[in-house]
């Protein structure tokens, strides 16, 4: 029986090349029998390449935003391959995820989902995989959010404005958070071992997880 229907877990692009990526995928596989998991891929080096390309090509932010989504999609394709045999075999749209919401397991969201085009989210660099993860969480009933981050914030306040100003989360996240009421946390990439406790509601994860 699923304790919570869906956990939306953003795996940041900083995990590309990190020794912690495999640990996170194993931890997610370990909870997939007790929670439905939707992975949101970060942009990482793919998004960095877009920033460089935008500077050279002089394209506007809307074009660069879609290029960055394509970059996230590339990491997503890699995650689908790395998650076998626990994961669905293709990237999934919001509609497909909703259709499978009552089934345990792992899927990876497709950042180039046409459903996203109908959202009110800005198409610029204020929106990264952080806000996209929160938006996706808001589209799914009984969902909870987890952002996996490469490092902790400079301090641990609950002030989202501070976290955005210090670039721990993206600039649009605090604005979007005012309209999406879902439980949310962050964990450092080195603390994948706390995931199971967080999902099960055990207090032992509290010293590692920060609330959003």
Q: How do residues 12-47 score in pLDDT, each as one tens digit?
A: 999 999 999 999 999 999 988 888 899 999 999 999
- φ/ψ (deg, to 5) at 15: -75, -10
pLDDT of 3 above 60: no
Looking at the predicted structure, is the pLDDT value of residue 168 above 90? yes
Q: Quote the longest CA-to-CA distance of the chain.
A: 52
98 falls in which pLDDT band (50, 70, 90)? confident
Cα separation, 120 vs 80, whole angstroms: 28
Distance in angstroms (rounded) separating the CA atoms of residues 5 and 86: 17
Q: Closest Cα partner for 78 from 147, 125, 21?
A: 21
Q: List the beta bridge partners of residue 41.
A: 11
Burial (CB count within 10 angstroms: exposed 0-12, middle 13-18, buried 19+), residue 112: middle
Decide if 123 contacts 161 (C-beta within 8 A).
no
100 pLDDT above the threshold of 80: no
In this structure, the chain runs to a length of 212
Q: Find, among 100, 98, 80, 99, the residue nearest to 90 by Cα.
A: 80
Distance of CA 94 to the CA centre of its chain: 14
What pLDDT does 4 receive?
Answer: 53
H or E element that contains 133 = helix 129-139
Separation between Cα atoms, residue 64 and residue 9, nearest integer Å: 24
Residue 104 has a pLDDT of: 66
Task: Name the band, by pLDDT with cuts 50, 70 and 90, for residue 206.
Answer: low
Do 186 and 143 form a contact (C-beta atoms < 8 A)? no
Any idea where the domains of the chain sit in the sequence?
Answer: 4-211
Q: How confident is the model over 151-169, as a mean pLDDT?
A: 85
CB neighbourhood size of 21 (10 A): 19
pLDDT, mean of residues 48-72? 95
102 band by pLDDT with thresholds 50, 70 and 90: low
Residue 2 has pLDDT above 60, yes or no: no
177-194 pLDDT per residue, tens:
999 999 999 999 999 999
Ranges 4-13, 68-77, 160-169, 185-194: which has the least confidence: 4-13
Query: What pLDDT, on a 0 to 100 scale, did the predictor assign at position 90?
Result: 87
Q: Domain 4-211 belongs to what topology?
A: Carbamate kinase (3.40.1160)
| pLDDT at res. 152 | 87
């Amino acid at each position: 029986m699923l304790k919570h229907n869906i956990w939306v877990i953003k795996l940041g692009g900083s995990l590309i090349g990190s020794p912690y990526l495999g640990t996170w995928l194993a931890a997610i596989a370990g909870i997939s029998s007790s929670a439905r998991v939707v992975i949101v891929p970060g942009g990482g080096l793919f998004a960095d390449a877009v920033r460089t390309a935008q500077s050279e090509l002089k394209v506007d932010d809307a074009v660069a935003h879609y290029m960055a989504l394509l970059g996230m999609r590339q990491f997503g394709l890699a995650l689908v391959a790395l998650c076998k045999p626990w994961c669905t075999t293709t990237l999934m749209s919001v509609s497909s995820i909703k259709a499978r919401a009552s089934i345990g397991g792992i899927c990876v969201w497709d950042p180039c989902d046409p459903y996203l085009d109908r959202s009110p989210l800005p198409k610029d660099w204020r929106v990264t995989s952080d806000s996209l993860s929160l938006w996706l969480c808001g589209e799914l009933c009984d969902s909870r959010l987890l952002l996996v981050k490469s490092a902790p914030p400079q301090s641990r306040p609950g002030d989202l404005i501070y976290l955005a100003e210090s670039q721990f989360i993206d600039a649009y996240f605090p604005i979007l958070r005012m309209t999406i009421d879902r439980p949310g946390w962050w964990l450092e990439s080195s603390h994948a071992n706390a995931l199971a406790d967080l999902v099960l509601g055990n207090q032992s994860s509290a010293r590692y997880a920060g609330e959003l």
